[in-house]
Amino acid sequence: MNTKSRFPRWAFTLVEAMVVIGILCLLIALVIPMRARMERRSSRIGCINNQKQIILSFKQWALDNDDKFPMAVSVTNGGAMECAATGSVWETFLVMSNELNVPKVLICPEDPATSRLTASAWGPTSPPAIPFTNNDNVSYFIGVDALDTRPTMVLCGDGNLTLRGQPVKSGLLNLLTNSPVGWTKRLPNHGAGGNVGLADGSVSSYPEKAFRQLLQKTGATTNRLAVP
């Protein structure tokens, strides 16, 4: 009786095995950088979308307040003029809580300084909601002097700013048209630039040189920024 199988037996030779392993290594080498690029792109897009929603909230608030942003309306009239003048970012955003809906939009997805603490409610609430009560929940600066009628003015942007190469502290920052302002490396997925939103509703990424040129085109001698 013939006990041999009628089906051929297939086996990898050493060369074939090495070819397969080489192909797998090549695929892994291609996929990992591609995934990293996708994650960086997703982070940038998320930050841009946040700032676009912030600008839209500013404009919605202005529609009900004589076309003025909160920074141009006194606290007694429901605005945040005095708060913004001292560099208080969170109190300025708090005025627009109805327009912003949730505080989460104020946090850049990549910001390690704020991502650990995401507010889920605007005011003091019972646990487990985290109240929005300070700059721990804010990634973006505010252009204190921005006007709805001046489309080239800076309205908001990434808060990882530098001045003369040093990280900017929380508070009010006065920038002249020739101030050597730049970006820290706190948000590596943003590349060599930072995202900035203008009063016209646009949001773009600006490298340091382009950001300095942008400040020269706002029409203001001094650009005051409230930095978180």
Per-domain residue ranges of the chain: 49-227
Phi, psi of 31 (to 5 degrees): -75, -40
Residue 46 CA from chain centroid, whole number: 7
Longest dimension (CA), the chain: 104
Task: Give the 3-state DSSP-derived string for 77-120, with helices as H, strands as E and coil as C.
Answer: HCCCHHHHHCCCHHHHHHHCHHHHCCHHHHCCCCCCCCCCCCCC
Phi (first) and psi of residue 74, to 5 degrees: -65, 160
Rounded CA gap, 168 and 90, in Å? 17
Residue type at 54? Answer: I
- Residues 114/107, Cβ–Cβ less than 8 Å: yes
Global pTM value: 0.79
Residue 92 near residue 142 (C-beta atoms within 8 A): yes
pLDDT in tens, the chain (228 residues): 455 555 455 555 766 667 777 777 776 666 555 544 444 455 557 889 999 999 999 999 999 999 999 999 999 999 999 999 999 999 999 999 999 988 989 999 888 766 556 788 887 776 677 888 889 889 999 999 999 999 999 999 999 999 999 999 999 999 998 999 999 988 877 877 899 999 999 999 999 999 999 999 888 889 999 999
Rg (CA), the chain: 25
CA–CA gap between residue 181 and residue 178 (Å, rounded): 9
DSSP label of 169: P
